[in-house]
Structure 1
Amino acid sequence: MLHVIDHNSGASGDVLRAMFEARKQVFVDLLKWDVPVIGGTFEIDEFDDGHAAYLVLTDASGAHLASARLLKTVRPHILGTLFPALCEGAVPRAHDTREITRFCLDRRLKAHARRSARDRLVSGLAAYALDQGVRRYTAVAEQAWLKQIQAFGWTCRSLGAVQRYANADIAALLIDIDAETPARLAATGIWNAPDHPSLERAA
């Protein structure tokens, strides 16, 4: 099931806790990011505030499968606050532009389930944008992940050259979303219609 969580959603605390715990297991335990951890269990930073939105994919039992955080680019966000030098020009900031951060695939997933969760979450991101009037996404990604994102089929371009930060090669990117995006994702085998009422209508 895909959960869309924001300040209007009446979010399930269990879903959020599972997401923050999964983020700690992936970004801190596996990838060794130097980011805050609450109580030794939950990865939560200063951008996890009342203005953030989340897409969280769970299985039938409520266990976390995949998730992503969406930040408003007219407010403090990862690219604009921490990595503006990744952009050759101005950092994209607009009310119809969101930043995708903390794209997290649960560490326990095997290859096939991991691919399925990834595709469902990417499809959810596209459908969410269409439902919410979001025309563009920005993101900061390591080079290997950047190449995957660019291969999904949606309209995507780099905002600047790859740069070295803390032993990782990272870059900023911009993804355009329009009515043709689901078809583009379907052409590469990514599209999987979201099982969320409002997003089903949007897509």
Structure 2
Amino acid sequence: MVELVTARNRNSHERLLQRMYEDRKAVFVDLLKWDLAHDGRRERDQFDDASAEYLIVTDLETSEHLASLRLLRTDQTHILGSLFPELCDGPVPSGPDIREISRMCLSPRHRGSERIVYRNLLASAMTEYALLTGIRAYTGVAEIGWLGRVLSAGWRCEPLGMPRMLGGSMVGALVVHIEPDTIRRLQASGKYHSGVLRMVEREDLAA
């Protein structure tokens, strides 16, 4: 199951969020050696604010964090527009119907084959969320290895500029277009899992 965590339901998912921050520190700081601020156990930054949303793959029985990503509004301060606009050959895509993907984290406690499944669950949930809420595109900044995986996932995706060497790594920016046929494209590539997104806050609004 993939949980949507927003400002509306964050209090009920505080334990899951703390586990996510701990895994982010284990992956990005301990494993990948990114120069990020942390408190010794958890990695959080200035973009983990009240407007940030999270898609979190979780075990419903144990509430274990399995994988996650953060979504930032692009009509507000975000990573590509604020920190890396030079990665775009043209204007940075932004607007109320575009979100930025960041901090995609796959739990280091699981095997590679399991992490691939979790990554595909996130891609499926991203697509479902966009189609349900009118999001037309996602942008992101990624190292070259991840960039290749995202570009080849099956959806319509394109680089926003040539990758550049930043902080010792080759990094690029991309945009993923979410369209009526995106689910079909992901199904064709074997990466789509149907009905994985749990949006409790929208169920509450409809009640």
After TM superposition, the score normalised by the length of structure 2 is 0.92
Aligned to 1:133: 134
Once residues 27 and 197 of structure 1 are traced to their aligned partners in structure 2, the CA distance between those partners, rounded to angstroms, is 27
Q: Equivalent residue for 2:32?
A: 31
C-alpha separation between the residues in 2 aligned to 1:110 and 1:197?
25
Work out the CA distance in 2 between the residues paired with 1:49 and 1:164.
28
TM-superposition CA deviations, 1:15-47 (whole Å, max 9, x none): 111111110110001001111112x11100000
**Counterpart of 1:176 in structure 2: which amino acid?**
H
**1:111 and 2:112 equivalent?**
yes
TM-fit CA distance, 1:109: 1.2
Cα offset, 1:198, TM superposition: 4.5
In structure 2, C-alpha distance between the alignment counterparts of 1:132 and 1:41, rounded to whole Å: 34
Q: Unmatched 5+ residue regions in structure 2?
A: 201-207
Which sections of structure 1, spanning at least 5 residues, go unmatched? none
1:25-174 aligned within 5 A:
25-38=26-39, 40-59=40-59, 60-174=61-175
**Separation in structure 2 between the aligned mates of residue 195 and residue 153 of structure 1, nearest angstrom:** 18
Determine if contact 1:24/1:42 at 8 Å carries over to the other structure: yes
C-alpha separation in 2, matches of 1:125 and 1:185: 12
Percentage of identical aligned residues: 42
Structure 2 CA distance for partners of 1:89 and 1:125, relative to 1, 3 Å: same
How far apart are 1:194 and its partner, in Å? 3.6
Contact 2:128 2:197 in 1 (8 A): no
- Per-residue deviation, 1:197: 4.5
The code of the aligned residue for 1:159 comes to L
Q: Specify the SS of the correspondent of 1:29.
A: helix
Deviations 1:94-140 (A, max 9, x none): 00000000011111110221111111111111111111210000000
SS at match of 2:104: strand
The residue number in structure 1 matching 2:2 is 2
TM-score (norm 1): 0.94
Deviations 1:34-86 (A, max 9, x none): 11112x11100000000100000111311111000000001111100110000
* Cα distance in 2 for residues equivalent to 1:193 and 1:36: 36
